[in-house]
Amino acid sequence: MSDTSSDLSGLMTIPGQVDPVPVARDITPRADGRLDLIGLPRPRICELLAEAGLDQRQAKLRAKQVFHWLYHRGVTDFAAMTDISKAMRPWLAERFVIGRPNIVEAQHSSDGTRKWLLQTDDGHDFEMVFIPDETRGTLCVSSQVGCTLNCTFCHTGTMRLVRNLTPGEIVGQVMLARDALGEWPKGAMDFSDDESAAQYTADGRLLTNIVMMGMGEPLYNFDHVRDALHLVMDGDGLGLSKRRITLSTSGVIPAMERAGEEIGVNLAVSLHAVTKEVRDEIVPLNKKYGIEELLQACADYPGASNARRITFEYVMLKDKNDGDEDARELVRLLKQFNLPAKVNLIPFNPWPGAEYECSTPERIKAFSDIVFEGGISAPVRTPRGRDIDAACGQLKTAAKKKSRAERDREDAAAQAAP
């Protein structure tokens, strides 16, 4: 595909219902002129070091060292980079910063789920959720502030798209979660590549999986999501296997093949309905990319196999998409396209003003049984973190409105003060 796409992504039309929005450039200097290195690939760090005055050899070596400290060790201060000469550390700190999304609020649910309300440097709020269970710890990462797509059951869909998150803001969520979970390797801080696996896992990997299921449609922010996930998967970066990463899309067909080829992670597709009428209503993107076309794109998804099945997400909406006939049609469609599929039934998470109700547990069970009898696994996703509104589709930064209003009030109060 076009190799200029990253430069153009800020100007590209975002095919959705909302006008295209200019995207922040990947490298926007801070107010003090320093550049944030988080989100940049190693060759770009090398270029920046060379532009700042290092010769090629030095720039390459330092870029490798800095990259290792950033992504493998998680340091946020150049002073901690002990294999870089003492004189060079302040030189780096004068020119560069190691950023993290700002934390507005961190919440902890009674079931162990954690939610963070985060903020970009230009003041936009977005969210990230961590969901631990017996066998893994899953981080639900946002790709956009808001969403263009307006799915009628989704709280994020009621927000307009504010902007795409940059690669740094996307990978920054993973880094922040590692910070919060205390998961960076400790111990000997010398620069060596032969750190033993035992030493590396000694801190315990609480964060084992990533799902691109936070706010936004990841395939409408393709380049930034791809670049961020490359950093997450880089063996000398965060080092997470592509098998532990899942990208969820509402069905942006033209970007699906590219996602398979250029990112290669597991695919989840928000199907949610089996008839044109219902899917047009609840996932309006269906008017542009219909069900059959979508399932064909899934069948063509590079890397899908019985060992790596595609997940079909299906939100359970009372009297809307939850009938026996819907379940039977779902099985028929998945078989017709010969898809290596599993179905994930998501109980609808209500939010204030939502026009739907969740199907009854009996209905969900009956639906699941029909799909299962059709030979396709159909587990029901247990809602997590409901007490802190961290469940699927509830991410709308409720605190944002409050804090905005509060900030405005504070500003007004500050201005009124003598």
List residues near ligand SF4 by CB under 6 A: 147, 149-151, 154, 156-157, 216-217, 250, 270
Q: Which residue's CB atom is positioned nearest to ligand SAH?
A: 393
Q: How far is the CB of 385 from ligand SF4 (least distance, A)?
A: 17
Q: Does 348 bind ligand SAH (CB under 6 A)?
A: yes
If phi over 0 gives left and psi between -120 and 50 gives alpha, with beta otherwise, what is residue 44?
Answer: alpha
Alpha helices in 249-397 (DSSP H): 253-262, 276-282, 291-299, 324-336, 361-373
Phi, psi of 297 (to 5 degrees): -65, -35
**DSSP strands (E only) in 303-409:** 310-316, 341-347
Give the DSSP per-residue string, 99-116. --PEEEEEEE-TTS-EEE
Q: Which does 172 bind (CB under 5 to 8 A by kind): ligand SF4, ligand SAH, none?
A: none
- Measured between alpha carbons, how far is residue 109 from residues 103, 127, 143, 246 in Å? 17, 15, 23, 23
Nearer to ligand SAH, 127 or 313 (CB): 313
Q: Which does 346 bind (CB under 5 to 8 A by kind): ligand SAH, ligand SF4, none?
A: ligand SAH
Q: How far is the CB of 251 from ligand SF4 (least distance, A)?
A: 9
**Of positions 26, 36, 127, 313, contacts ligand SAH by CB under 6 A:** 313
Nearer to ligand SF4, 97 or 346 (CB): 346
Of 46-54, 89-97, 319-327, 342-350, the segment contacting ligand SAH by CB under 6 A is 342-350
* Residue 316, helix vs strand vs coil: strand
Whether residue 105 lies in the annotated active site: no
Q: Which does 173 bind (CB under 5 to 8 A by kind): ligand SAH, ligand SF4, none?
A: none
Nearer to ligand SAH, 249 or 368 (CB): 249
Q: How far is the CB of 392 from ligand SAH (least distance, A)?
A: 4
Q: Which does 348 bind (CB under 5 to 8 A by kind): ligand SF4, ligand SAH, none?
A: ligand SAH
355: tokens are 């026009």
Per-residue contact string for residues 132-151; x = within reach of ligand SAH by CB under 6 A: -------------------x
Whether residue 392 lies in the annotated active site: yes
127: tokens are 């969210």
Q: How many CB atoms neighbour CB 268 within 10 A?
A: 19
Q: Which of residues 229-248 bind ligand SAH (CB under 6 A)?
A: 248
Q: With both helix axes pointing from N to C terminus, report the angle between 42-51 and 56-67 in degrees, rounded to the nearest 10.
A: 130
Q: Which residue's CB atom is positioned nearest to ligand SF4?
A: 157
Q: How far is the CB of 270 from ligand SAH (least distance, A)?
A: 4
**Of positions 66, 141, 154, 231, contacts ligand SAH by CB under 6 A:** 154
Q: Does 213 bind ligand SAH (CB under 6 A)?
A: yes
How far does CA 197 lie from the centroid of its chain?
Answer: 27
The DSSP letter of residue 267 is: E
Q: Which does 349 bind (CB under 5 to 8 A by kind): ligand SAH, ligand SF4, none?
A: ligand SAH
Q: How far is the CB of 144 from ligand SAH (least distance, A)?
A: 8
Distance CA 82, CA 381 (A): 45
Q: Which does 274 bind (CB under 5 to 8 A by kind): ligand SAH, ligand SF4, none?
A: none
Distance CA 243, CA 169 (A): 22
**Of positions 393, 396, 397, 400, contacts ligand SAH by CB under 6 A:** 393
**Of positions 175, 256, 327, 346, contacts ligand SAH by CB under 6 A:** 346
Q: Which helix (H) or strand (E) holds 399?
A: helix 398-416
Distance CA 182, CA 190 (A): 19
* Active-site residue identified among 46, 151, 358, 392: 392
**Of positions 120, 250, 311, 321, contacts ligand SAH by CB under 6 A:** 250
Closest of 341, 329, 327 to residue 370, by C-alpha:
327
Q: Which helix (H) or strand (E) holds 97?
A: strand 96-97
User: What counts of helices (H) and strands (E) characterise the chain?
Assistant: 13, 13
Alpha helices in 112-221 (DSSP H): 167-181, 197-201
Q: Which helix (H) or strand (E) holds 224?
A: helix 222-233
* Active-site residue identified among 47, 94, 127, 140: 127
Residues binding ligand SAH (CB under 6 A) = 151, 153-155, 213, 217, 248-250, 270, 313, 315, 346, 348-349, 392-393
Catalytic site residues?
127, 392
